[in-house]
Structure 1
Amino acid sequence: MGHWLVIDLEATTEEGGWPIEEMEIIEIGASMVNAQGHEIDHFQRFVRPLRRPHLTRFCRDLTHISQTDVDSAGPLSEIWPHFERWLSQHHPRLIGWASWGEYDRRQLEQDWRLQQLSSHLSTLSHLNLKKTFAQARKLQQPVGLHTALQLSGINFSGQQHRALSDARNTARLLPMVLPIQS
């Protein structure tokens, strides 16, 4: 049976948002799920931003990630190989990877390029679950993760805007929009 990887990233930001080119990953959360959508493994790490090492108050309040969390973490160039080692044990059974929207894929691809990192994910298809959910539910426009969960009769579990909680909650929607094949 195949597995799906659901990834969520938290990144540096300010009220009103920054262009993706200025954002840096500060947390990686990933949930590996089986054909029934149940988590079989997970990965979570903080990442120290290099260009703007001090988190804005808005970013700290939104994510509940402290300055100490990122100061004590390694930069992405150190953390990403840990992720790839974790991923490699699941790679033979991996069908693809998903995220809520395009942001996570675009941020990863940008940072892989900037830091000259490679990833098994680049060889797999990416599923934009936000778009797929809107199509499956025949919604006029895509909705946020919290709203999608509510429409599905699911309560958000964990802390919003934390990478692993968001990845796990996104994974709960995967079987509803995509008949996962074994």
Structure 2
Amino acid sequence: MALWLVIDLESTTEEGGWPVEDMEIIEIGVSLVTRDGAELDRFQRFVRPRQRPLLTLFCRELTHIEQADIDGAAHLDVVWQELERWIEPYHGRLQAWVSWGDYDRQQLVNDWRRLGIDSTLSQLPHINLKQRFAKIRQLEKPVGLNRALELAGTSFFGEQHRALTDARNTAKLLPSVLPSLS
């Protein structure tokens, strides 16, 4: 059975946003799904940033992630090893990894390079579901996750801007895009 990893990240930020190179991951959420979007497994971890370990008020309000969650978390290099071990049993069946937009891919590539991480994901194709969804729906421009879910006849479930919740909601859109991935 073919499988896909749907990944979402939450990162340090301030109102108005920071460049990707200045952001650090504070939460990773991964939903392992089948072609029809059915979740088989999931992974979620908080990550303690190194450069800016104190979350801004804006970041805490946006993500609902508490400073204590981050203070008690491991750094990305340790969390990434946990994720790699979690992925290992599925590796032979993984078709690609998916994210809503390109931010998550850019952040991971930057962090892998910065930390010298050789990731399993770098060997898999990445699908920017936001772009693919817009192309399939013949939208003038890509839309946000909530709007895409509405267009697909469903709605967002759970708390927005939490990595696993966002990944699970993104996975709902995978079946509508996969037929175009041949």
User: Does the 8 Å CA contact 1:35/1:180 hold for their aligned counterparts?
Assistant: no
| Distance in 2 (alpha carbons) for counterparts of 1:142 and 1:171 | 17
C-alpha separation in 2, matches of 1:22 and 1:40: 34
Q: What letter corresponds to residue 42 of structure 1 in structure 2?
A: R
Aligned to 1:112: 112
**Alignment deviations for residues 21-71 of structure 1 (CA, whole Å, 9 cap, x no partner):** 100000000000012210000000000001000000000000000000000
Deviations 1:105-160 (A, max 9, x none): 00000000001111100000000000000000000000111110111111111110
* Counterpart residue number, 1:3: 3
Secondary structure (helix, strand or coil) at the match of 2:168 reads helix
Flag structure 2 segments of 5+ consecutive residues without an equivalent. Answer: none
Q: Contact 1:28–1:45 at 8 Å: present in 2 too?
A: yes
Instruction: Give the drift of 1:83.
Output: 0.2
Q: Distance between the aligned counterparts of 1:90 and 1:40, measured in 2?
A: 11
CA RMSD in angstroms comes to 1.0
The reply to whether residue 87 of structure 1 matches residue 87 of structure 2 is yes
Distance 2:180 2:84 in 1: 24
Q: TM-score, normalised by structure 1?
A: 0.97
Structure-1 separation of matches of 2:172 and 2:58: 28
Tell me the percent identity: 61
The amino acid that maps onto 1:2 is: A
CA contact (8 A) 1:36 1:180 kept: no
Q: How many residues align?
A: 181
| Structure 1 moving runs of 4+ over 2 Å | none
